[in-house]
Amino acid sequence: MTQPLVAPRPRPAIETRGLTKLFRGKAAVDGIALSVPNGSVYGFLGPNGSGKTTTIRMVLGLVRPSAGTSSLLGEPMPGAARRVLPRVGSLVEGPAFHPYLSGRSNLARLDSADLTADPRTSRHRIDAALDRVGLLAAAGKRYRAYSLGMRQRLAIAAALLMPRDLLVLDEPTNGLDPQGTREVRHLVGDLASDGTTVFVSSHLLAEVEQMCTHLGVMSEGRLVAQGPVAEVRGGGASVAFVRTRQATEAVGVLTRLGLGGIERVPGGVRADPGEVEPERIVAALVTDGVGVREFTVSRRSLEDLFVSLTGEGFDVSG
């Protein structure tokens, strides 16, 4: 009996194997294996100096790796750069424009240098990109009169001049006020809903948690966690906190109940409740004479996760 044909799974939008970059013999990026699913919003996180930007530059073919391989949209890099890069928009290490030109004129220069762009539709596409990032009203202003946030938005507009299958943004909310940050978040959501894969490098945990479907966490050049947000966070694992002056006795009760990850923290005890119901935990503590001043069960925060993975704190809100 003839077996039905099974369509091959599409390759990830970004894929690396053993990707490594050495500077003066030291690994800035150490053998990482990224896998960014098509259609995802992938948050690439890590403290400053963890290797995020170097990784992005290698993936885009801007820096040659010391070892390993990478592909964009299923094509090997840097060999397929001419075919692939027209389908990729990017913002890496901040915008660079001519200060004496207006925002619109800067985009026009970039557009004219793109051999894949149709000059007949240039004006329409430039205005559409400016409008999408909220700069259409300031299109005639010289770039040097732009605020830092406006400059960042102009750089995103430059990445949107042509339809893109993949958008790579390195710290896209850098310098933006809260309103501008929300606009970028909504823009990323709109792009993803249109089918664009968005790869966002950031250190702003609150923003990443709201906009991303997948996460990758870097620490000292290594990829220490990767996957869907819920999976990386431990499937939505919860943390129980008991505020009490009798921490030693509380630890004994929680141990007897079978809670995991029990640790003494300032003000009380923290643990993973697992399948044990909160009512049962509180009842056992009170029965054993433990004075419970507060009891809460909350999801493990991204900040807790990243500190445990990297040993460093992150900027939660910017």
On whether residue 4 sits in a domain, the answer given is: no
Question: CB neighbours of 62 closer than 8 A, spacing ≥ 6?
Answer: 92
Q: What is the CATH number of the domain that holds 85?
A: 3.40.50.300
| pLDDT for 4 | 55
187 in a structural domain: yes
Q: Are residues 144 and 265 in the same domain?
A: no
Q: Which domain holds residue 266?
A: 238-299
One domain for residues 226 and 273: no
Residue pair 188/200 in contact by the 8 Å Cβ criterion:
yes
Q: Please choose, from the candidates 183, 168, 175, 274, the residue with its C-alpha nearest in 3D space to the C-alpha of residue 216.
A: 168
Residues 267 and 168 grouped into a single domain:
no
Domain boundary among 232, 247, 270: 232
Q: Is residue 5 included in any domain, yes or no?
A: no
Are residues 140 and 268 located together in one domain of the fold? no
Contact between 167 and 90 under an 8 Å Cβ cutoff? The reply is yes
Report d(CA 283, CA 281) in Å as an integer: 6
What was the pLDDT predicted at 193? 86
Please state, as a whole number, how many other Cβ atoms lie within 10 Å of the Cβ of residue 42: 24
Contacts for 290 with CB less than 8 Å, ≥ 6 apart: 242, 244, 246, 249, 250, 253
What is the maximal distance between C-alpha atoms in the chain?
80
Of 49, 46, 18, 42, which is closest to residue 32 (Cα–Cα)?
18
| Exposed e or buried b per residue across 51-63, where buried means at least 16 C-beta atoms within 10 angstroms of its C-beta | bbbbbbbbbbbeb
Q: Same structural domain for residues 251 and 288?
A: yes
Tell me, yes or no, whether 56 and 196 share the same domain. Answer: yes
In a domain, 196, yes or no: yes
Report the pLDDT value the prediction gives residue 5, as an integer from 0 to 100: 52
Kindly give the pairing relationship between strand 222-228 and strand 214-219: antiparallel
Last residue of a domain, one of 232, 249, 284: 232
pLDDT tens for the chain, residues 1 to 318: 555 555 556 789 999 999 999 998 899 999 999 999 999 999 998 887 889 999 999 999 999 999 999 999 999 998 999 899 999 998 887 668 999 999 999 999 999 988 888 999 999 999 999 998 889 999 999 999 998 888 888 998 998 899 889 999 988 887 777 777 887 888 888 888 888 999 999 877 777 878 899 999 898 899 988 999 878 876 556 789 999 999 999 999 999 999 988 999 999 999 988 889 999 999 999 999 999 999 998 776 666 666 666 665 554 444
Q: Are residues 251 and 210 in the same domain?
A: no
Rg (C-alpha) for the chain, rounded Å, is 24
Number of domains in the chain: 2
> What is the separation, in whole angstroms, between the first and last Cα of the chain?
61
Name every residue whose Cβ is closer than 8 Å to that of residue 264 and which is 6 or more positions away in sequence: 247, 251
Domain shared by 118 and 191, yes or no? yes
| 118 phi, psi to nearest 5 deg | -85, 115
Last residue of a domain, one of 232, 250, 268: 232
Q: Are residues 91 and 137 in the same domain?
A: yes
